[in-house]
């Protein structure tokens, strides 16, 4: 989520800089927008989160399968060592196999993380563009000079004080422009659970199998 909001802020603040030269001659109307709130209420974003959860489950299942197999072979190796029946050549071969399997799991975790981030970014790009275009449209239609995000991508507030926290906030107008209707306060609604940012979208790390010292 942090990376998403940062991307949108870059576009919005580029507009801010472009208009800065006109600030001294034109009346200023400054508004705010809660980008995270907008995204969390968009059906497209909710569907994206559902899809990402399915992808995570697939990767997690594959990782667990690899880890279980490593654990099984590691236990077989340890039993063979304890029995004293492993010939040096067989022991060396099994140690090499276990080492290769451990390296494969580590590489899978690394590539899975990269794939998740890449997939998330690809799926979020059209949503980002849609939100940014709507913010620009609503701001222009309501004669705003600037629109400031109520939060930085780090989660810290940008607007520390506002005479009215809602009078100049266009978040609901943007959602309306996007076709999302927010029920009035006090009505019963179903709130989507808060999800993690793409940078936190990781495959759960399964504890490594216990193995005997392996020769590299």
The rounded mean pLDDT for the chain is: 79
Question: Phi and psi dihedrals of 32, rounded to 5?
Answer: -130, 160
Q: Is residue 193 part of a domain?
A: no
Geometric angle at alpha carbon 71, from 66 and 73, rounded to 5°: 95
Q: Is residue 199 part of a domain?
A: no
Q: Look at the chain and count its residues.
A: 216
Q: Is residue 214 part of a domain?
A: no
Q: Is residue 133 part of a domain?
A: yes
Q: Is residue 172 part of a domain?
A: yes
Q: How far is residue 6's CA from residue 197's CA, in Å, rounded to a whole number? A: 12
Count of the separate structural domains present in the chain: 1
- pLDDT digit string, tens, across residues 96-143: 999 999 999 999 999 999 999 999 999 999 999 999 999 999 999 999
| DSSP per residue, 66-78 | HHHHHHHHHHHHH
**Residue 94 pLDDT level (bands cut at 50, 70, 90):** very high
Q: Is residue 109 part of a domain?
A: yes
Q: Which residues contact 203 (CB under 8 A, 6 or more apart)?
A: 56, 59, 60, 63, 109, 112, 113, 116
Residue 17's Cβ-side half-sphere holds a number of Cα atoms within 13 Å equal to 6
DSSP code at position 204: P
Q: Is residue 196 part of a domain?
A: no
Ramachandran category for residue 83: left, alpha or beta (phi over 0 → left; psi -120 to 50 → alpha): alpha
Q: How far is residue 36's CA from residue 1's CA, in Å, rounded to a whole number? A: 7
Quote the pLDDT of residue 149: 84
Quote the pLDDT of residue 71: 96
Q: Is residue 31 part of a domain?
A: yes
- pLDDT digit string, tens, across residues 137-163: 999 999 998 888 887 655 666 665 666
**Which has the higher per-residue pLDDT, 108 or 206?**
108
Quote the pLDDT of residue 194: 41
- pLDDT digit string, tens, across residues 9-41: 555 555 555 555 554 566 788 899 999 899 999
**Which has the higher per-residue pLDDT, 99 or 204?**
99
pTM value surpassing 0.75: no
**Which has the higher per-residue pLDDT, 30 or 203?**
30
Quote the pLDDT of residue 99: 96
Quote the pLDDT of residue 152: 64
Quote the pLDDT of residue 101: 96
**Which has the higher per-residue pLDDT, 207 or 129?**
129
Residue span of the structural domain in which 144 resides: 2-182
């Amino acid at each position: 989520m942090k990376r998403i909001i940062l991307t949108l802020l870059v576009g919005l603040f580029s507009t801010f800089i472009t208009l800065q030269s006109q600030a001294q001659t034109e009346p200023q109307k400054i508004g705010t927008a809660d980008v995270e709130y907008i995204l969390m209420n968009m059906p497209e974003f909710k569907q994206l989160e559902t899809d990402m959860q399915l992808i995570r489950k697939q990767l997690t299942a594959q990782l667990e399968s690899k880890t279980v197999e490593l654990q099984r072979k590691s236990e077989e190796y340890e039993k063979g060592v304890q029995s004293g029946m492993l010939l040096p050549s067989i022991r060396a071969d099994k140690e090499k196999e276990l080492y290769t399997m451990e390296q494969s799991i580590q590489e899978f975790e690394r590539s899975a993380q990269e794939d998740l981030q890449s997939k998330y970014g690809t799926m979020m790009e059209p949503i980002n563009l849609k939100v940014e275009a709507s913010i620009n449209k609503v701001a222009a239609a309501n004669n705003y000079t600037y629109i400031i995000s109520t939060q930085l991508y780090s989660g810290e507030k940008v607007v520390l004080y506002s005479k009215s926290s809602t009078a100049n906030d266009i978040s609901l107008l943007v959602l309306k422009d996007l076709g999302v209707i927010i029920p009035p306060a006090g009505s019963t609604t179903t709130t989507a659970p808060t999800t993690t940012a793409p940078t936190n979208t990781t495959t759960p790390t399964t504890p490594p199998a216990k193995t005997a010292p392996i020769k590299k």
